Chains A and B, each alone.
Chain A
Amino acid sequence: MRFSRSVSGWMMAGLLVFSLACGGGEDAGEVADAPEMEEAVVTVDPAKAATITGKVKLEGDPPRMPTINMSAEPDCRGLHEAAPPAEVVVAPDGMLQNVFVWVKSGLEGKFAVSDTPAMLDQKGCIYSPHVLAVQTGQMLKISNSDPTTHNVHPLPKTNREWNRSQPAEGSDIEYKFPRQEIMIAVKCNIHPWMRSYISVVNHPFFAVSGADGSFEIKGLPAGSYTVEAVHERFGSQEMSVTLGDAESKDIEFSYNAS
């Protein structure tokens, strides 16, 4: 209760009578005692679940892919028949691999986090897979199958950065990224050519294009979505997709190599 102090005494007296008669109004804000609601997890009826399938294409001449010089690490060099290529992987028919595709917007609510851990392996001084996606809070296990020591060094912007050493035969590094962030670069400082990209997404609707450039996002509720494709070199593209119950749509992203 706050009182104006410039009112004359008699006015106050009058007000006093009034306020006494009214029993003195208490206006202390009622505190909403609502318990903190755990946001309900959205479940999608499998019979109504919609699907997005598609392909990612690379138009034009694919860039000449440099090969990795692993001479500094004979242990790894020996694990490859030929020097492996870096970066862009294009199938002979122009299909682009390692493109991260996800539902960027249009979803509402919270989705269950997968119990299955995502795996990232270091083999022959290459990350496998090269592009990986996990849900926020989903376990990521990073293993070292090489006879040499690596260090795993993600370079996120919104998550916290870390850099851990992992010796040969060392136990798996386990980590859960708490915040959504797309295409976090992961590097090994010891083997500077090693690079992987991890995307952390708040929901389970994402995919990475395979060797034939195809991807599939299943289990979506009906709705209008913005689907984004992100490639480490060619950048991002967006597309709007509207899905009805149990509908399946085929879309195509196309990058230009030049």
Chain B
Amino acid sequence: MPKPVDTDVDPVVTKSLSVPLLISTLILTFSLVWAIYDEVYVMRPWKNFQADFIELYSSFLTRLKPRQAAAEAEVKESPEYQALQQELDGAEELAAQRVREIDTVVGRGVTPRLLTARQTFQILKSEIDAITYQIETETSESAKQSLQEDIDKIKARVVEVNLASEDGSGEVETLEMKFEALQAEFLRLQERRVALQAERAKVLEPASEIRAERDALLANRLAGLTAQQVDGLVNKMENFNIEIKQIHLNDIDWVDRCESCHLGTREPVSINAEDVGGRAEFVSHPSLDLLRIHDPEQFGCSTCHNGNGRATRSVVKGHGRHKFWLWPLWHKENMQAGCHQCHAREVITEQADVLNKGRTLFLNKGCWGCHRFEGFDRESDDLAAVRQQMKIIDDRRNANLKEQRESIAAGDVVEDMDEADTLYARADLLSLRNAKLDAEYGALKVEEKSLVLETRKFGPNLKEIKVKLRKEWIPVWLTNPHEFRPGTKMPEFRLLEDEVQKISAYLWQNGIEGELASHPPGDPERGKELFGTRGCLGCHSMGEGDAREGGNFAANLTRVGEKTNYDFLVRWINNPSEVTPDPEADADAPHPIPIMPSLRLSIDEVRDVASYLMTRKTDATYEPADYMDDPAMAEEGMALIRHYGCAGCHEIRGLELEGRIGTELTLEGSKPVERLDFALLTHQAEMEGWYNHKGFFERKLKDPAIYDQGKMRVHLEKLRMPNFHLGDDEINALTTFLLGAVDTNLPAHYRYEPEDDRRYIQEGWWIVRRYNCVGCHQISFSGQSALMSVPLYEDPDWQEQLPPQLYTQGARVQPDWLIRFLDNPALHETDIHRNGMRTYLEARMPTFHFSERQVMKLSRFFMARSSQSMTHVDPGLEPLTAQETLLARRLFQSRGAPCLRCHMTGNPSHDRDATAPNFLTASTRLKPDWTYRWMLEPAKIAPGTAMPSELFRKEGDRWVFTGPLPAAFEGYEKDHADLLVRYMFQLTPAELRRLTAAGVQ
């Protein structure tokens, strides 16, 4: 029996839903509150950042203000400021009287009268203008006539004009005037008012000039902001709007909201983390200089820094440091990677030291021997381009010739003379075109010739191996170059013993047989001194560990005596361009320019240095290596050399045409991370958080075999990249460079690819780096030359022996002189065993055997760096009067001006101890404006120079000599520095003799 349905139990009546309803209401309410909270705070973490920033920064500003106020007060109390303030007060007072007068005349007299005159004048003028318009639009002559008469009537009408009196009394006079007279009066008043206002400005000019000077003094003396400016910032914080701060770059539709949290970035005060409670995200940008060049409003933030500029929901998202964002924020140590995408043409980018170091390592460790990287293979790329262009020109010439022949042939047969003339003219035109193309071709031919000489492989030429090297040394070296010579550029290949033997055998048997001239021994003691002082240490180093001295551009020569022979060293030092004739090669084939220059040593000096170098060895013994003569070994060696890519860096007979074995790295930073072969370490990398480009590069550079780990591979299948034994900072620099090597998605106008003179700076740096000019010279401010770190040059007596600084070389010398000097630093055809300019320097400016193209590029580089043109126009210095010649001569001869004590005079015994060039060279070498600036403030141009400052002091508008002046100067009103410059530039040998003969020097 079914249970009866209890119809009385109505759940609606009997059961309460209040509990579920309450629960759902609560849930709904919580959801709502949470949703609102999430919307307002959780999804907008930048709000908290902004609130924190306002508080921290305001508090910092409040602390800053009294400091700035005190500093400001200190400047304001300084005598210079006070003097200017007094001068300003004086000038203002002086002007005040006249200014008041003008203000009265203009305000009370001229302006009221002008206003009253205008009332009547404008009524009449508008009447006339209306009729004039009618005349212009009227077609009938008679109507025009009658309208003109109307105008004349108006002009003839005498009207009553109420004019305020001009004397400012406030009275009004009533005059009867015709239009013309009224117009004249009106214009007169207008002119008068303008004239008076101009006068007012002129009267106030001295005062406003002084005020500008005073304010500039305050701005220059005061480090940071004035108290008032700080107040402005405090105000700004008080009125701060909490909102997304966004930069939008219209042209590429790029959005960066970084400044929603990084609020201090562009503040005009330098903010350090400790200033804002240790919150590093609030610091100001470390280089405001960089921001000036790359205004964030035009360049954005994440264009350079990477990261996700749009994301505002969390730090991780904003920085893009997660696997779904391809461009994570650069790590601090790799920040300069961001420069390369737009500065890809450069080897040196200003203010990017780490990146520059990376590029320079890539260039000078020879990475480009195996890995192509656009821009690093400059010479052969340029050569290919030049040859391509020559080919195009040649094709066009041939086409022109063909058409020319056809035109003439056609002209010869047509009957119509006019038609024939046209055809002949066409032929002539084509001939002229070809003449132009010939010239273009000729220029390219010259360039080609230079480029052929410049194109060389990175490492030494191994065809010379038999004349150069000790046989048994070769396998030792190949086994581990870094054991024989720590820090060498030759990397360590992981070769098996039999591989070493086979490679050695091939190289040895493929060396050119040659006879070296035999030389008598030199004096090693003298050689040691020459090695230390002639400048060898600018590139080479000597000694190991703490005893190491010199540059790291070229080989460390501590054990050079073990690997080579004396006669070869003599030949090499004497003339690095000399090569052993190769019977198999074309006798006319050009030899590439060696990187090692000639120091133009005399043959005795060469023998001394070579003798010294031969003493540089240990008593290590070398096993005999007879297998190196076994042809069977050599045959196997060839395949190994090919496998390891030796010919990427070295000239090896039989393997001249070998290509590169490494992967191209030009866009390595953009390669998808999946294509970087982490091999069996992939999982570990992901776990440990280095499954990214940075992690891959750093580990690969540290240990190139790392991704072989755990793999079962036969020896020849293992990774081939050798170990360069790089230091941590070198690895970081190279990683930075490779990270930055990306396929940029920024449009062309973001990239720094100038086509004006700045291009010469970009190109010049490549040569400067390739030939290591910076080993001896300081060219850019950052970084010392290698020579400067050699202990000898730290001795006060040796400081003047440092090669000259070249910061402003382009402003200093004339381009023609520079070209001559770079081509032949002896500046003489036969007397070459000396410096051409500074004969007193022990260090010798070497002859680099530059190609014509390189000399021009270097000269342009120096000129462009100083904003100078390649054409030097003689500035036409004012000739000296007889009296001026006498004055300058007297000054030079006086005790007060000991110029010739340091400057060379041509007297050998004096010049030995000189520290500055001969004045006779000034007119052909220097630029007068530079010379003038140099004399006034040499330390500004070359910090640390021997040339003293304060030789002249300012007296009014001119510079006068500081020391005691010869009596003859009484009454001479011109600039003394200018006088001396003109004297120097007009100096003759006879005049110089006269100066030195006086015996004062």
Contacts and interface: CB of A to CB of B under 8 A. Distances in A.
Nearest to B53: A28
Contact of A165 (B34, B944, B950): B950
A12 interface: yes
Contact of B962 (A1, A12, A165): A165
Contacts of A187: 796
Given A155-B799, A165-B948, A31 B33 contact: no
Given A2-B315, A16-B34, A153-B946, A148 B898 contact: yes
B697 to A, nearest CB: 31
B817 interface: no
A180 B8 CA distance: 104
Contacts of A64: none
A162 B796 contact: no
A96 to B, nearest CB: 21
A174 to B, nearest CB: 13
B963 A167 contact: yes
A3 B42 contact: yes
Interface string B891-912: 0000111100110000000000
A189 B963 contact: no
Contacts of A169: 964
A169 B938 CA distance: 23
Interface stretch (B55-63, B722-730, B984-992): B55-63
Contact of A164 (B63, B896, B948): B948
Contacts of B947: 163, 189
Nearest to B37: A16
Interface string B23-34: 000000011011
A147 B800 CA distance: 25
Contacts of B42: 3, 5, 12
Nearest to B276: A31
Q: 9 closest pairs, A vs B, by CB? A: A167-B963, A151-B948, A29-B277, A165-B948, A185-B796, A189-B946, A13-B34, A13-B30, A28-B52
A31 B946 contact: no
Given A13-B31, A29-B56, A75-B895, 16 more contacts: A2-B315, A3-B42, A3-B45, A13-B34, A16-B30, A16-B34, A72-B901, A147-B895, A151-B948, A162-B949, A163-B944, A163-B949, A168-B895, A170-B963, A190-B902, A195-B796
Contacts of B963: 149, 165, 167-168, 170
Interface of A: 1-3, 5, 9, 12-13, 16-17, 28-31, 33, 72, 75, 147-149, 151-153, 155, 161-170, 185, 187, 189-190, 192, 195
Given A2-B315, A3-B42, A72-B901, A148 B949 contact: no
Contacts of B41: 3
Interface in B249-284: 276-279
A48 B502 CA distance: 81
A2 B45 CA distance: 7
A145 to B, nearest CB: 14
Given A72-B901, A153-B948, A167 B896 contact: yes
B913 interface: yes
A33 B895 contact: no
A149 B896 contact: yes
Interface in B793-808: 796-797, 799-800
A99 to B, nearest CB: 19
Given A149-B896, A164-B950, A31 B277 contact: yes
B45 A163 contact: no
Contact of A33 (B59, B799, B948, B964): B59
A29 B898 CA distance: 64
A27 to B, nearest CB: 9
Given A2-B45, A153-B948, A169-B964, A189 B896 contact: no
A1 B48 contact: yes
Contacts of B34: 9, 12-13, 16
Nearest to A151: B948
B895 A16 contact: no
Given A16-B33, A31-B277, A189 B964 contact: no
B237 to A, nearest CB: 14
B38 interface: yes
A5 B1001 CA distance: 83
A9 to B, nearest CB: 6
B915 interface: yes
Nearest to B799: A155
Contact of B63 (A33, A151, A170): A33
Contact of A29 (B33, B278, B895): B278
Contacts of B55: 28
7 contacts: A13-B34, A151-B948, A153-B946, A164-B950, A166-B950, A167-B964, A169-B964
Interface string B628-646: 0000000000000000000
Residue among A30, A33, A161, A167 having the largest count of chain B Cβ atoms under 10 Å: A167
Nearest to B943: A161
Interface string B700-744: 000000000000000000000000000000000000000000000
Contacts of A164: 948-950
B275 to A, nearest CB: 9
Contacts of B943: 161
Given A1-B48, A151-B948, A162-B949, A13 B279 contact: no
Contacts of A75: 895
Contacts of B75: none
A29 B49 CA distance: 12
Contacts of B314: 5
Contacts of B278: 29
B964 to A, nearest CB: 6
A189 B314 CA distance: 63
Nearest to B961: A167
A5 B317 CA distance: 11
B895 A149 contact: yes
Nearest to B901: A190
A5 B52 CA distance: 21
Nearest to B59: A31
B509 interface: no
A17 B51 CA distance: 23
A9 B34 CA distance: 8
A153 B949 CA distance: 10
Nearest to B67: A36
B796 A149 contact: no
B512 interface: no
Nearest to B800: A189
Contacts of A149: 895-898, 963
A3 B37 CA distance: 12
B946 A163 contact: yes
Contacts of B915: 189
Contacts of B1001: 72
B951 interface: yes
B945 interface: yes
Given A165-B950, A192-B913, A13 B33 contact: yes
Contacts of B938: 163
